Structure 1
């Protein structure tokens, strides 16, 4: 599967915690919260998702690779948690290397691991890559709305890492907001994610809208509202029991 080389025009902005985000003028949308990109990612995806899973090795699915912030924070956690993580991320609009190098995440988060941040972005698309002994990455350049599971005839299916069949223990649902990309938030796609997850699998998302909560419940998840990061009252965590 070849990289589609699509891109979104974006501008770098500084958020309240000193970390960068990207603003997309055509969508009037930010990649992260302006109240703190790093703080938001740690709060929702690392603390409410990754750290709550006892699976080992741990399979993570991310909807929206974007700036690589979630992947970088997850990679750094492998050294604290002492467990292997197999990370799959889906992205239709990969960033240019020029844009990536302008982001300040390595300096703000962990300067000693700057090379690892760039290794995430330099990793080949659509092929499994070992970034460290404990962190393997598969970046898939694909339109998430075209995903099916477990249709073997599809170009790419949920529940695979290379040729390996897997079940995801943690899902970071980090697509653009429903009002900006409504096609990314629909029942069929949540059903596909649910089917691809392990028992006690955890999905976290910044979106706490009632319609999203009800769709997750319709897929079979048990859903809870949790306190959000600065600037956001609530977020959702969904568990496949």
Structure 2
């Protein structure tokens, strides 16, 4: 069963009672995604001043796409965004999410309603391709500059946190590409290093001491 939960910053997250996992931190879904994927990922990568090819593992609620789109609109970023999701949310769940209200936006439902496995020009300079597939089966079609690795935790989906998977992503990234993840477990850091990345620790969002940024050099 999938339940909508209000986190401490007022934004929704999803709780999957069958798996016993949350989509975001209960300390605040919005502040978590903003800190990890936007501040430490997108805004840093955008300093290079060129088109950014983004790959997201886990479309989920659509929050990361929405935040990225808002920043792209604000700063005139050029972004080609691909997001992967094996189990899309049903309409009655994504229609109830409050991100548009909190962010003064009106596009979240539109992002969810876009057809899967097809590239869409959402606005000038921002394209979105939603792929309904499993990461283990997915084959990258282009080199990526920025990866939002937002899969369920290693305890829940250990098969997605292996050296083989991270090597697959590493090989699909441009030199200088960045992978951001909320998980800072020692075993994850060591696995990223084994896959070839340089790994940095950065202060995390409220309620999380640190997060990881992995760089392909």
TM range (shorter): over 0.9
SS of 2:100's partner is helix
Cα gap change, 1:75 to 1:28, in 2 (>3 Å): same
Q: Does 1:43 align with 2:35?
A: yes
Q: Distance in 2 between matches of 1:120 and 1:49?
A: 21
Q: Unpaired runs of 5+ in structure 1?
A: 1-8, 148-156, 161-165
> Normalising by structure 1, what TM-score?
0.87
Q: SS of the counterpart of 1:46?
A: helix
1:31 is matched with which residue? 23
Aligned residues: 215
In the TM superposition, what is the alpha-carbon distance from 1:55 to its structure 2 partner? Answer: 5.2
- The whole-number CA distance in structure 1 between the counterparts of 2:77 and 2:6 is 33
Q: Can you list the C-alpha shifts for 1:40-84, whole angstroms capped at 9, x where unaligned?
A: 000000001111112521100000000000000000011222121
C-alpha deviations, 1:144-185, integer Å up to 9, x for none?
1223xxxxxxxxx11x2xxxxx31110000000000111111
The equivalences for 1:86-235 within 5 A come to 86-110=80-104, 113-114=105-106, 116-147=107-138, 157-158=139-140, 160=141, 166-235=142-211
TM-score, normalization by structure 2: 0.97
In structure 1, the partner of 2:70 is 76
Aligned-pair RMSD on alpha carbons? 0.9
Secondary structure, in 3 states, of the residue corresponding to 1:49? helix
Structure 1 position 13 matched with structure 2 position 5: yes
Return structure 1 stretches of 4+ with deviation > 2 angstroms.
none
Provide the C-alpha distance between the structure 1 equivalents of 2:111 and 2:84, rounded to a whole number of angstroms.
13
